[in-house]
């Protein structure tokens, strides 16, 4: 099975000084494969100066738009994001993988729900997809967005959000929080932190009325906000989050104990074929070792976040450095993130086809 497909860039828009959005020309043959749910992401693969870069970006468009659009914010030192902002143009050919991700919900016209969305910076992208879809389909639902940035000119999709507010006056509230630019109302100045959420409690949102909460941004913000919301009485099961940016601890670089001299025979099944190789304990993740053997495996972030490299552990044991993406039931059913998995037994069988 092919994991990625060549498509052309259909449109490029400058959203802020350091952020573009691009849409993809998905032909009729690929449209079924590339159907997506609001809040999901795609993985872009681009060769830059001889190196293949795999990067996951959330779709900011709604599936009801019949559009596939992502936003790419330039990150200091980020090779891919800098290249994209400086060089991507209409007609460029790039590889993308089909949509994936669990940062979504079941949107239904019969729903009467109250949603709270909290975003920081480029964390608005999957949230915009969800908000647009909910407002379009769920005519009786209420949506509140708290969106943090440094300055007003850094607000990604500001005009889109204000237009949605005007079009859905009785359904949608948006509150911009600025950390480096003063606003008239002091409540909306500063960072999205514990004190800010506590101050918003029972003013901007009402915990006993909320059905679902979605948080997207840096790890520190997410974990702080989640903890405060739970302390405000919101059931943890109602809270969904998606991490943007690198984890606080650079766990992708961590390794288990130094190599003991033991080796593990790794058997990977993908697309009906089996790749076998030997991997010394404590040296590389299973994904990195397989890629060094020229295996064509799906992956993106290599940080335990996106789940693109998920596979099922059939036999053997592994240790995972970190897991931000797998649900408890997936772990119970034997799924692992190969980018974070290191062998613990002398033979391991992994299936990417399940």
DSSP string across 266-301: EEEEETTEEEEEEEETTTS-HHHHHHHTT-----S-
Distance, in Å, from the CA atom of 128 to the CA atom of 306, rounded to the nearest integer, reads 19
Dihedral (Cα; 83, 85, 88, 90), 10-degree rounding: 180
Q: What local confidence, expressed as pLDDT, does residue 297 receive?
A: 87
> Are 129 and 227 within one domain?
yes
> 265 lies in a domain?
yes
> Are 265 and 238 within one domain?
no
Stated as kind and residue range, the H or E segment containing 86 is: helix 79-87
Contact 222, 241 (CB under 8 A): yes
Burial 165-178 (b: 16+ CB within 10 A, else e): beebeebbbbbbbb
Distance, in Å, from the CA atom of 6 to the CA atom of 95, rounded to the nearest integer, reads 4
Q: What local confidence, expressed as pLDDT, does residue 149 receive?
A: 97
> 109 lies in a domain?
no
Residue 45 sits in a domain of what CATH number?
2.40.30.10
> 106 lies in a domain?
no
> Are 238 and 119 within one domain?
yes
Specify the DSSP class assigned to residue 60: -
This prediction has a pTM of 0.86
> 248 lies in a domain?
no
Contact 134, 214 (CB under 8 A): no
Burial (Cβ within 10 Å: 0-12, 13-18, ≥19) of residue 233: exposed
Distance, in Å, from the CA atom of 190 to the CA atom of 221, rounded to the nearest integer, reads 13
> Are 206 and 274 within one domain?
no
> Are 257 and 237 within one domain?
no
Distance, in Å, from the CA atom of 23 to the CA atom of 59, rounded to the nearest integer, reads 9
| Containing structural domain, residue 270 | 253-351
> Are 137 and 51 within one domain?
no
pLDDT in tens, 135-150: 999 999 999 999 999 9
> 83 lies in a domain?
yes
- Single out the residue in 42, 67, 100 at which a domain terminates: 100
> 335 lies in a domain?
yes
SS3 letters for 292-329? HCCCCCCCCCCCCCCCCCEEEEEECCEEECCCCCCCHH
Q: What local confidence, expressed as pLDDT, does residue 255 receive?
A: 47
Specify the DSSP class assigned to residue 149: E
Distance, in Å, from the CA atom of 251 to the CA atom of 319, rounded to the nearest integer, reads 13
Provide CB contacts within 8 A for 29, sequence distance 6+: none
Q: What local confidence, expressed as pLDDT, does residue 322 receive?
A: 82
Residue 343 sits in a domain of what CATH number?
3.10.20.30
Structurally, how many domains does the chain consist of?
A: 3
> Are 133 and 239 within one domain?
yes
> 107 lies in a domain?
no
Q: What local confidence, expressed as pLDDT, does residue 259 receive?
A: 53
> Are 90 and 59 within one domain?
yes
Q: What is the pLDDT along the chain (354 residues), one digit of tens a residue?
A: 568 899 999 999 999 999 999 999 999 999 999 999 999 999 999 999 999 999 999 999 999 999 999 999 999 899 999 999 999 999 999 999 999 999 999 999 999 999 999 999 999 999 999 999 999 999 999 999 999 999 999 999 999 999 999 999 999 999 999 999 999 999 999 999 999 999 999 999 999 999 999 999 998 999 999 999 999 999 999 999 998 765 544 444 444 445 557 899 999 998 888 999 999 998 999 999 999 988 888 888 888 888 889 999 999 999 998 888 788 889 999 999 999 999 999 999 999 988
* Angle between helix 158-167 and helix 124-137 axes, rounded to 10 deg: 20
> 34 lies in a domain?
yes
- Single out the residue in 243, 269, 299 at which a domain terminates: 243
> Are 133 and 226 within one domain?
yes
> Are 133 and 225 within one domain?
yes
> What DSSP string runs through 195-250?
HHHHHHBTTTB-GGG-SEEEEEE-HHHHHHHHHHHHHTT--GGGEEEEE-S--SS-
Q: How many CB atoms lie within 10 A of CB 237?
A: 7
Q: What local confidence, expressed as pLDDT, does residue 354 receive?
A: 84
Residue 170 sits in a domain of what CATH number?
3.40.50.80
Burial 292-324 (b: 16+ CB within 10 A, else e): eeeeebbbbbbbbbbbbbbbbbeebebebbbbb
Q: What local confidence, expressed as pLDDT, does residue 250 receive?
A: 45
> Are 159 and 132 within one domain?
yes
Q: What local confidence, expressed as pLDDT, does residue 245 receive?
A: 61
Q: What local confidence, expressed as pLDDT, does residue 301 receive?
A: 82
- Single out the residue in 100, 133, 168 at which a domain terminates: 100
Q: What local confidence, expressed as pLDDT, does residue 3 receive?
A: 82
Contact 7, 26 (CB under 8 A): yes
pLDDT in tens, 287-346: 999 999 888 888 888 888 888 899 999 999 999 988 887 888 899 999 999 999 999 999
Distance, in Å, from the CA atom of 311 to the CA atom of 188, rounded to the nearest integer, reads 43
Burial (Cβ within 10 Å: 0-12, 13-18, ≥19) of residue 130: buried
């Amino acid at each position: 099975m092919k994991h990625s497909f060549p498509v052309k860039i259909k449109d490029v828009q400058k959203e802020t000084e350091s952020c573009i959005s691009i849409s993809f020309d998905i032909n009729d043959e690929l449209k079924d494969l590339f159907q997506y749910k609001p809040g999901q992401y795609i993985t872009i693969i681009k060769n830059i100066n001889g190196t293949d870069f795999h990067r996951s970006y959330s779709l900011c468009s709604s599936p009801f738009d019949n559009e596939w659009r992502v936003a790419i914010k330039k990150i200091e030192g980020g090779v891919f994001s800098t290249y994209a902002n400086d060089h991507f143009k209409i007609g460029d050919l790039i590889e993308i993988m089909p949509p994936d991700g669990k940062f979504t919900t079941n949107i239904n016209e019969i729903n009467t729900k109250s949603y709270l969305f909290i975003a920081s910076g480029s964390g608005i992208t999957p949230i915009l997809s969800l908000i647009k879809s909910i407002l379009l389909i769920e005519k009786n639902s209420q949506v509140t967005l708290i969106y943090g940035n440094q300055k007003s000119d850094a607000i990604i999709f500001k005009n889109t959000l204000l237009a949605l507010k005007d079009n859905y006056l009785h359904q949608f509230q948006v509150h911009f929080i600025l950390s480096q630019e003063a606003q008239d109302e002091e409540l909306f100045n500063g960072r999205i932190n514990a004190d800010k959420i506590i101050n918003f409690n029972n003013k901007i949102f009402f915990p006993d009325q909320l059905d679902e909460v979605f948080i997207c941004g840096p790890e520190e913000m997410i974990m702080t906000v989640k903890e405060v919301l739970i302390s405000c009485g919101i059931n943890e099961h109602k809270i969904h989050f998606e991490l943007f940016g690198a984890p606080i601890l650079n766990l992708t670089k961590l390794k288990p104990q130094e190599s003991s001299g033991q080796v593990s025979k790794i058997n990977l099944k993908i697309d009906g074929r089996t790749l076998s190789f030997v991997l010394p304990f404590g040296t590389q993740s299973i994904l990195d070792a397989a890629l060094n053997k020229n295996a064509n495996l799906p992956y993106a972030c290599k940080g335990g976040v996106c789940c693109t490299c998920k596979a099922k552990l059939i036999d053997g044991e592994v240790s995972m450095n970190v897991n931000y993406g797998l649900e408890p039931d997936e772990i119970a059913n034997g799924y692992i993130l190969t980018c974070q998995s290191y062998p613990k037994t002398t033979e391991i069988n992994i299936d990417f086809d399940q």
